[in-house]
Amino acid sequence: MTDAQALVKTLDFQLDIQSDNESLLYDACLESRSVYNETIRLAKEGMDWDAIPDRVADDADLVKNTTQRVVAKALGAMENYYEYDDFGQPSHTKDGAYPLRANYEEGYNLSLNDDGDVAFRISAKPYKHVKGVLDGDDAHLDILKTALESDEWKIGTTEALFHNDNAELHVNVTNTKQTVRDKQDSQTVVGVDVNEDNVALTALSENSVEDTLVIDFPEIKFERHRYFTMRKRVQNAGKESIHDTLGGCEERFVRDRLHKVSRHIVEWSRQFERPCIVFEDLKEMRDSIDYGTRMNRRLHHLPFRALQYYTSYKASFEGVPTAWINPEYTSQRCPMCGHTERANRNKKRFKCSSCEHQDHSDRGASVNVAVKGIKKHQDWNVPALNNLPQVKKVRRRASGAVDAPTVASDTAKGHHPDGIRGVSD
């Protein structure tokens, strides 16, 4: 059995900085870039790596602890190139601002103020501090507040940086008591297929297909289109202030729904023995999308990564590991015979032109995701798939409760073309 792993999370926040100290933080990030590039230069010239931190710190206009953390990251990057690059050393220097790295209670501090906000103080330059409060996702703020008040948590290094001209703080926290089981030490693999209006789940064990579920959330697609239409109208009317308010309302609505759906995914997965939740790695998907203006807008605004991220960190807090697989052909491959063809899929109906297998198209994709997860991360065989269970479909209310199950509108059970029936959750 593989040892369990400590629960480590990176929490992302925006910085609400007091007065005009944002320019001070930006100057410190430019100095951090200089430290990084100087470290790379000295390492390439052959200087003893143990001597580089003190050499660079002598000239850097940064707190010594921060300088050491930036130097360590640069040397780590060089070490990776030595290990994996067969074509010599690239220049690997940075342009623009570079993240300011620091240890907790040495280069930065966090505390709860009287208003319940998390206040920060970053040592940007020697004897010069940047102060303010953190803003960001409620779940991340809750985790950080818990970490500040609990002995079970350890707050670690942070990076202050600028992303799209906005100041951010990324904080590493570790739960010293809770662990996440290694994904290879699993007895059930839950394949997750995230779509525009639903998420499909299928649980496979070594011996059988355990269960399958489709969670509908069409309101996200509907509301995003509604807010898009309203923003276009107010933009044409020249009311930019209302335009920004609508954007905030849309973001809160979508985030609320995603948290509820991700919680449902984790709760459903935990009913199985030693589960591992497997996602498609979709991080490069947006770069390859080009289906025309209207479809591009819809697909670029889909919350694929957000739902995967929310599910992943919620799962980790339950000790459930997550894994990632290549998404290639998961929607087009027949789980029964392996035949791959774009014409196999028509909206929510999948029909294999080779073996005549029919299924709910999204459930079929989740089966393929689970199968890939087993082959990549487990040492047991894929179970027989010739008797897939009937698809269960549920829809979440705005309150987070689950509505009565819907009637499946596509072929829903195995390869039986007339397996359409009402289901219960």
User: Are both 197 and 110 inside the same structural domain?
Assistant: no
pLDDT of residue 411: 41
What pLDDT is stored for residue 265 in this prediction? 96
Q: How confident is the model at residue 295 (pLDDT cuts 50, 70, 90)?
A: very low
Of 78, 91, 102, 93, the C-alpha closest to 36 is 93
Q: Is 202 helix (H, G, I), strand (E, B) or coil?
A: strand
Domain count, the chain: 2
Predicted pLDDT of residue 313: 78
Give the domain CATH number at 314. Answer: 3.30.420
- Residue whose pair of structure tokens reads 């829903």 in the numeric block: 412
Residues 150 and 194 grouped into a single domain? no
CB 359 within 8 A of CB 415: yes
Question: 204 is in which domain, residue-wise?
Answer: 188-395
The 10s digit of each residue's pLDDT in 78-108 is 876 654 444 445 456 678 889 999 999 999 9
Q: What is the pLDDT of residue 44?
A: 86
Q: Nearest to residue 280, comparing CAs of 220, 195, 396, 204?
A: 195
CB atoms within 10 A of CB 281: 14
Are residues 234 and 307 both part of a single domain?
yes
- Closest to 422 measured CA to CA, from 395, 397, 392: 392
Distance of alpha carbon 19 from the chain centroid: 33
Q: Which pair of tokens denotes residue 249?
A: 């309302």
Q: What's the CA gap between 125 and 110, in Å, rounded?
A: 17
Cα 287 to Cα 296: distance, rounded to the nearest angstrom: 11
Clarify whether residues 285 and 375 are in a common domain.
Answer: yes
Least confident of 65-74, 282-291, 323-332: 282-291
- Average pLDDT (304-330) is 87
| Amino acid occupying residue 112 | L
- State the Cα–Cα distance between residues 401 and 116, nearest whole angstrom: 29
Same-domain pairing of 270 and 374: yes
Question: φ and ψ at 199, to 5 degrees?
Answer: -130, 130
107/171 same-domain check: yes
Looking at the structure, tell me whether residues 123 and 221 fall in a common domain.
no
pLDDT tens sequence across 161-193: 998 889 999 999 988 777 788 899 999 999 999
For residue 380, pLDDT beyond 70: yes
When pLDDT is averaged across residues 29-41 and rounded to a whole number, the result is 93
- The verdict on 49 and 151 lying in the same domain is yes
Residue 329 lies in a domain: yes
In angstroms, the CA 187 to CA 272 distance is 8
DSSP secondary structure of 173-199? EEEEEEEE--TTS-SEEEEEEE-SSEE
